[in-house]
Structure 1
Amino acid sequence: MNTDKPKRYTKRKKILVSVFILFLLLVGSGIGYAGYLYNKTSSIVTESHEDVGRENESSPLRDGKVDPVEDNVSVLFIGVDDSEFRDSENSRSDALILATFNKNKGSVKLLSIPRDSFVFIPPLNYSTKINHAHAHGGPRATIETIENFLHVPVDYYVRMNFNAFVEVVDALDGIWFDVPYEMEESDSNDKRDAIHLNPGYQLLDGEGALALARTRKYDSDVERGKRQQEILKEIANKATSASSLFKLEDVLTAVGSNMRTNLTLAEIRGFLSYGLNEKVQIENINLDGNGGYMENGGWYYQVEEESRIQIQNELRNHLEVELLEESNNVADDPSYY
């Protein structure tokens, strides 16, 4: 787990809480031609809204429904690959980032969850890779799996596909990023080795940025999660820059057709205080573990139990949810749901 102290960012960078592209656009819409962009954003959120399907639309780990204006809340960001070769509702999740927000502290914690993590999937009633949950039940199954695994309430979700990623980067005329190594990767249409990148600081278009975010052939699933966080921060940084002001409409269009969320526009606006807070702290955290093959021949990432409990307590404490007794710190518990 990354134990470095939380990094403090400049005002612009503090607005770019990792993958919160939609939130950033709402902040950006206040800079210029706000009325038009606000109306467009409102329409996009309405069209993209999709409830989880849980009782009272709230987590069973909560006493009731929360409000991001008043409460500490969590948001699960789900990245899926639903190109023309895949069914969007039955695709596996390719990226999972759980964010917790603390109103009083003005802080955000971002947890990247490796897609190959070996966990119990409640809808399947057996353990397998965490990214299988989405294929067998969409956002709800993914949320229930993470809540069962970490015992941390997941209040909201935002699901975006690879098309949104590529189109957003292209709408912003690319992002600058330091590519760590020479690499070849498939493009968004699964054309093998279609993307070839050399190491070094360079301007990446949507396909190049996606290839770098997706690849895990050259390091590990954990390092890929960290790289995704940094790439998404650069996207958000570009989206909030003055040079991108008049590109926001194109970015909104890219996001709108490729997103699903249970957040309402009023709830999204409740997060703006984090972006406008000059003292906001953003901290990236990760689960420790080891990858390897199991008896069934599959490769899995085994999260260390000590790390899981530590992250669980860290996130529950950040949400100011009562910590669990040690006897209740049991993952893969079929009876939890």
Structure 2
Amino acid sequence: MSRGKKIVLGIVGFVAVLTIVAVGIGAKVYMDLSGSVQKTYESVERQLDTKRKEEQGKVIAEKKPFSVLLLGIDTGDLGRTEVGRSDTMMVAAVNPNLKKTLITSIARDTYVDIVGKGTKDKINHAYAFGGAGMSMDTVEKYLDIPIDHYIAINMKGLKELVDAVGGITVSNDQKFTQDSYTFEYGKIHLDGDQALSFSRMRHEDPRGDYGRQERQRKIVEGVAKKLLTFDGVTRYKEVLDAMQENVKTDMSFDDMKKIAADYRGAFTTIQQDQLQGEGFMQDGISYQRVSETELNRVQTELKKTLDVNN
């Protein structure tokens, strides 16, 4: 058995909650949603100064652009119960004024300073060292932007969410076999188990981990589309059941309601980007090194979306 089906998908839980809140189909839905979101809430310890903490607490309340670190954790299935690593990392920058959301993927092997650990390592190790808080602090320093919130989802959550929405359809640009499944070229339908396998293949892909990350983003898009096209969110209970046991976030129910009310236009346009690096070996371990030019490019795009001037 391989290391595990290392996956994706904070953004799915994010879109799921926002979709159901926005539809607002009655008191029963409201109470179910409130209870489920409360089960997903988990605060974090961060290394922020007093001013930054105050700013972070006002962002959503004042309808300002905000960012969410989306973490896919490699636990929750195949009997894995340890803390795990964030084998998928995405930053979602949400701007209601520009009516735009920018989702930027970060390769798990990116070589960075781990804030709070005093060492350089793969960026996905920050979660294993210090949970979501250390991951947020590390990404905030590396990208030079404020990271306001996080959403983490484990492997089991991905599988159950895909099944909860009745499966998804994605466009596949390379025929391959993974975990006994053969994925044909073109548009294909995936259930939860198939989505896990589809998301984890990288050895047959000439793009390596970057190809894997592109497939993960396709799954994100596929689930989001199914959620946003539900007639009255008819399967909302299945979605909530999948979320409440497998998703963690520091966004409260009030935050979710505020986003649904004030930020709906920000999801009209969803753009995707990828922080690109080059592989290198150090002490027998492979890493990704991002050039200063590429890092500056990604930082600039994120700062534009978040209206950050520094």
Q: TM-score, normalised by structure 2?
A: 0.86
Change (3 A) 1:202 1:313: closer
Match of 1:259 in 2: 247
| Mapping 1:13-52, distance limit 5 Å | 19-28=11-20, 31=23, 33-52=25-44
Structure 1 CA distance for aligned equivalents of residues 183 and 79 of structure 2: 24
Matched residue of 1:246: which SS? Answer: coil
Structure 1 CA distance for aligned equivalents of residues 307 and 68 of structure 2: 15
Matched residue of 2:282: which SS? Answer: coil
Structure 1 CA distance for aligned equivalents of residues 274 and 150 of structure 2: 19
Alpha-carbon deviation of 1:25? 4.0
The answer (yes or no) to whether the contact 1:66–1:155 under 8 Å persists in 2 is: no
Alpha-carbon deviation of 1:139? 0.3
Greater displacement, 214-223 / 43-52: 214-223
State whether structure 2 residue 289 is matched by structure 1 residue 302.
yes
Match of 1:322 in 2: 309
Match of 2:80 in 1: 86
Change (3 A) 1:106 1:273: farther
| Mapping 1:111-122, distance limit 5 Å | 111-122=104-115
State whether structure 2 residue 85 is matched by structure 1 residue 99.
no
Alpha-carbon deviation of 1:133? 0.9
State whether structure 2 residue 164 is matched by structure 1 residue 177.
no
5+ long unaligned stretches in structure 1 = 1-16, 186-192, 324-337
Q: TM-score, normalised by structure 1?
A: 0.80
Change (3 A) 1:180 1:161: same
Structure 1 CA distance for aligned equivalents of residues 138 and 253 of structure 2: 26
Structure 2 CA distance for aligned equivalents of residues 103 and 32 of structure 1: 20
Structure 2 CA distance for aligned equivalents of residues 317 and 291 of structure 1: 28
Matched residue of 2:221: which SS? Answer: helix
Alpha-carbon deviation of 1:165? 0.7
Change (3 A) 1:234 1:75: same
1:55-103 per-residue CA deviation (whole Å, 9 max, x = no partner) reads: 7898848745233242211111101011354334x20111111011123
Equivalent AA in structure 2 for residue 171 of structure 1: A
Number of residue pairs the alignment of both structures matches = 298
Alpha-carbon deviation of 1:118? 1.1
Match of 2:70 in 1: 77
Instruction: Report the structure, 1 or 2, having the larger helix content.
Output: 2
Structure 1 CA distance for aligned equivalents of residues 236 and 142 of structure 2: 37
Note the aligned Cα RMSD (angstroms).
2.6
Say which of 215, 222, 246 aligns to 1:227.
215
Instruction: Give the share of equivalent positions with the same residue, in percent.
Output: 28
The answer (yes or no) to whether the contact 1:18–1:230 under 8 Å persists in 2 is: no
